[in-house]
């Protein structure tokens, strides 16, 4: 069964460093998302991406965050200068259809620890 | 914020049916009702969705009230593997409050006893 894959599974970084989290969405999907979940808290939307551009972003997704689909298969989330509060599990998701019926397929997540 | 209300937690016995309720009294006519679940240490997983009619799939059934102000996710025979957080989410096609994203609330923690 096709799945969304994310790398790395766990990354530890120092505050202020740049981090890139990578995702390989399901191959025929058109809609891509990043979510995050701070330990013990809700799953929070960060950004959605469609047709090679951001379609929506949350307040969390400030200038320190960026997304890219560099080669038609990968979908990356970059955090330019990490803060302690960026420590979280980051989930990538993809969907073949948009709202309101599209089913999102989530990856297993990348755990980011900022020291 | 998600416009649904779910109990914080529920408990079930293994191999018994589980009915997970969700209230969405302000639902609009074009809102679809989606259910996702999140197993421990995993990403969310799609369970089922519906608009007006009851829906069945291999994982669960979704019963939607006639006035659509509430719905119930039914797991016909709970297993230990069904222990997870279950999220009831409204999703609309209009690019307004929901846009194209899913908005997760706190969900219901389902515990399954053996």
Asked if the model's pLDDT at residue B1 lies above 70, the reply is no
Asked if the model's pLDDT at residue A44 lies above 90, the reply is yes
Contacts of B64 (CB under 8 A, 6+ apart): B33, B50, B51, B52, B53, B54, B55, B71
When pLDDT is averaged across residues B23-40 and rounded to a whole number, the result is 93
Q: Please state which of the ranges A25-29, B28-32, B79-83 shows the lowest mean pLDDT.
A: B28-32
Q: A54-111 pLDDT, tens per residue?
A: 999 999 999 999 999 988 789 999 999 999 999 999 999 999 988 888 899 999 999 9
Extract the tokens encoding B82: 């069904």
Residue window 61-90, chain A: list those with CB within 8 Å of chain B: none
When pLDDT is averaged across residues B57-78 and rounded to a whole number, the result is 96
Contacts of B32 in chain A (CB under 8 A): 100-101
Return the exposure string of A38-56: e unless at least 16 CB atoms fall within 10 Å of the residue's CB, then b.
Answer: eeeebbbbbbbbeeeeebb
| Closest-CA distance of chain A to residue B45, Å | 7
- The angle formed by the CA atoms of residues A56, B55 and A55, to the nearest 5 degrees, is 5
Q: DSSP characters for B16-76? A: S-EEEEEE-TT--TTPEEEEEEE-TTS--EEEEEESSS-EE-SS-EEEE-TTSSEEEEEES
Asked if the model's pLDDT at residue B2 lies above 70, the reply is no
Residue window 44-73, chain B: list those with CB within 8 Å of chain A: 44-46, 49
Closest CB to A108 among B42, B100, B106: B42
pLDDT higher at A43 or B96: A43
């Amino acid at each position: 069964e096709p799945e969304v894959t994310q790398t790395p599974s766990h990354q530890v970084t120092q505050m202020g460093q740049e981090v890139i989290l990578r995702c390989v969405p399901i191959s025929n999907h058109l809609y891509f998302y990043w979510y995050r979940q701070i330990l013990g808290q809700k799953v929070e939307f960060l950004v959605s991406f469609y047709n090679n551009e951001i379609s929506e972003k949350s307040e969390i997704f400030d200038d320190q965050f960026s997304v890219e689909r560099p080669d038609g298969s990968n979908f990356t989330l970059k955090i330019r200068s990490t803060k302690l509060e960026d420590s979280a599990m980051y989930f990538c998701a993809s969907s073949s259809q948009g709202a309101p019926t599209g089913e999102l397929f989530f990856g297993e997540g990348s755990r980011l620890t900022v020291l | 914020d998600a416009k649904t209300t779910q109990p914080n937690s529920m408990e079930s016995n293994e191999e018994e049916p589980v009915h997970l309720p969700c209230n969405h009294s302000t639902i609009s006519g074009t809102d679809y009702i989606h259910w996702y679940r999140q197993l421990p240490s995993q990403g969310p997983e799609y369970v089922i969705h519906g608009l007006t009619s009851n829906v069945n799939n291999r994982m669960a059934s979704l019963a939607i009230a006639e006035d659509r102000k509430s719905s119930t996710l039914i797991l016909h025979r709970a297993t230990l593997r069904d222990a997870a957080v279950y999220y009831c989410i409204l999703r609309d096609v209009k690019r307004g409050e929901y846009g194209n994203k899913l908005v997760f609330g706190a969900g219901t923690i389902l515990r399954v006893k053996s």
